[in-house]
Structure 1
Amino acid sequence: MTGTTGRVALVTGASSGIGAATARLLAARGMRVVVNYLHSGAAAEEVVAGIGAAGGQAMAVQADVRDTAAVATMIVQVQAAWGGTDVLVHNALTPYAIKPFQDMTWKELGGKLDDEMRAAFTVTKAVLPGMTERGWGRLIYLGTGLSRQPRAGMIALGTAKAALAQFARYLAQELGPLGITVNVVEPGPVADTRIAGVLDDQNKQRQVAATPLGRLAHTGDVAQAVAFYASEDNAFMTGTTAAVNGGMSMY
């Protein structure tokens, strides 16, 4: 991966799972990484310590990405330490209800939509001025295959992430002339994550059977796709979606 050394990457929700794997990989590729977290400070510091032990640079910063003031404070901290943010990996996952539509309230569905878009809007607004000034930036949003392929009980998450994916496409169109690429990574079920945790063994077996590569994704599989989108190597892909699901989306 070329040309990433010294770039600053902000990874939201990076204390565990896909976010942590992405933070570690970007640091290994030479980026300075901001490990954002909301509640899991000790876990975030473990990620930072691991990156440091491997020879990389990272810092943990607490912020609720739905809170404009908290995000602004985080950006100020990053600027004070390392200057502007070159790469945003928006991975933080806000809570959501898992239930059929007929049992769902508007607060549960509309609240998830509001949380999802508020967070994406807030962090994007915060990093864009610096990217625009430098004429270079990478915006990467973590979606889900559930935005395209429905699964029982997942209407709140799937609908909210579908909105996020379209938001990213509009940004790609608007920001391309400014030297900023915008892309989405949509994993299928990923082992050892919160979403995978809602699948029972029978469901997991069905998901694996429907996957040509014969297994669920690992967090590292998703991180690899994110790292490509974050790099200098990705000079001409914007407005795209990477389906990291072992071929499941072909069906």
Structure 2
Amino acid sequence: MSRVAVITGASRGIGAATAQVLAQQGFRVVVNYRSSAEEADEVVAAVSASGGQAVAIRADVTVPGDVAAMVDETIGKWGRVDVLVHNALIPYDVTSFVDLRWEQLGDKLERELRAAFLVTKAVVPDMMSRNYGRLIYLTTVLSRQPRQGMITLGTAKAAMDQFVRYVALELAPHGITANLVSPATVADTTANALLEATEIHQLGATNPMGRLVRPEEVAKSVAFLASADSAFTTGHCLEVNGGLAMN
């Protein structure tokens, strides 16, 4: 029986790599996108060319109706949702606290938690009905280790991290796991659009492994948490950072 995975923000970067890795492992994958229809179709085509099954579904993960429609379409097509990978990037501002306005922080907090809440609420009932599910959320080390200018992203992700732990606690008796994956800066131009080229180079140079993490490396870590082998792992954060931060 092929499992079904919904991957938000899957038209490029980590999401696209995750779609391809999961498809290679036999998952049927939903490539969610908000505005990059052409890129999402390219991911679906790549999965299909490799013998996998994928479909692209447009949805803004901060809009309740969009999220509900995406999950309904998935269940209508493939009967269920076994795995949620919440990877969609919610925009944020790079700024110091001195220059920070409440609207910048409040908007990022609200939209980050709204998206995590909506996608989780949408898939959990089906998972509970079958006593099986894997919930995986992409976070950042900035939620635990501050870096100059990243107060909006780090604060919002810290709130999401705690939300995931509460979800993990409540859903554990139902055979549903909820975990976080925390990559270091990824070698992906879209994810790094707010950083200067010199900053990106410096981040790679200061990593103990001397480079940025690759999207496919993050995807393979996600794939473990999406698998049946991770059944007794829940409420944890899996670091993929080359030794940059050690707990």
* TM-score, normalization by structure 2: 0.96
Say whether the 8 Å CA contact 1:87–1:138 is kept in structure 2. yes
**Segment of structure 1 superposing worse, 173-182 or 195-204:** 195-204
Shift of 1:171: 0.8
SS of 1:98's partner is: coil
Alignment correspondent of 1:218: 214
Distance 2:189 2:106 in 1: 24
Shift of 1:210: 2.9
Tell me, which stretches of 5 or more residues in structure 1 are unaligned?
Answer: none
Shift of 1:99: 1.0
Distance 1:128 1:237 in 2: 18
Alignment correspondent of 1:167: 163
Identical pairs, percent: 55
Shift of 1:151: 1.5
Alignment correspondent of 2:228: 232
Say whether the 8 Å CA contact 1:188–1:245 is kept in structure 2. yes
Shift of 1:96: 0.7
Shift of 1:204: 3.1
Alignment correspondent of 1:141: 137
- Within the candidate set 97, 116, 130, 1:120 is matched to 116
Aligned residue pairs, count: 247
Alignment correspondent of 1:183: 179
Alignment correspondent of 2:244: 248
Alignment correspondent of 1:150: 146
Distance 1:101 1:137 in 2: 39
Say whether the 8 Å CA contact 1:146–1:188 is kept in structure 2. no
Shift of 1:209: 3.6
Shift of 1:193: 4.0
Distance 2:145 2:184 in 1: 10
Question: Where does structure 1 differ by over 6 angstroms across 4 or more consecutive aligned residues?
Answer: none
Tell me, which stretches of 5 or more residues in structure 2 are unaligned?
Answer: none
Distance 2:75 2:223 in 1: 22
**Segment of structure 1 superposing worse, 5-14 or 195-204:** 195-204
Q: For residues 69-125 of structure 1, give each alpha carbon's deviation from its aligned partner in whole angstroms, at most 9, with x where no partner exists.
A: 111111111111101110000000111111112212111100000000000000000
Which letter maps to 2:91? P
- Within the candidate set 46, 49, 60, 1:50 is matched to 46
Alignment correspondent of 1:108: 104
Matches within 5 A, 1:75-86: 75-86=71-82
* TM-score, normalization by structure 1: 0.95
SS of 1:35's partner is: strand
Matched, 1:9 2:2: no
Alignment correspondent of 2:199: 203
RMSD: 1.3
SS of 1:243's partner is: strand
Say whether the 8 Å CA contact 2:13–2:191 is kept in structure 1. no
Q: For residues 153-208 of structure 1, give each alpha carbon's deviation from its aligned partner in whole angstroms, at most 9, with x where no partner exists.
A: 11101110111111111111111000001100011100114343333343334323
Which letter maps to 2:80? G
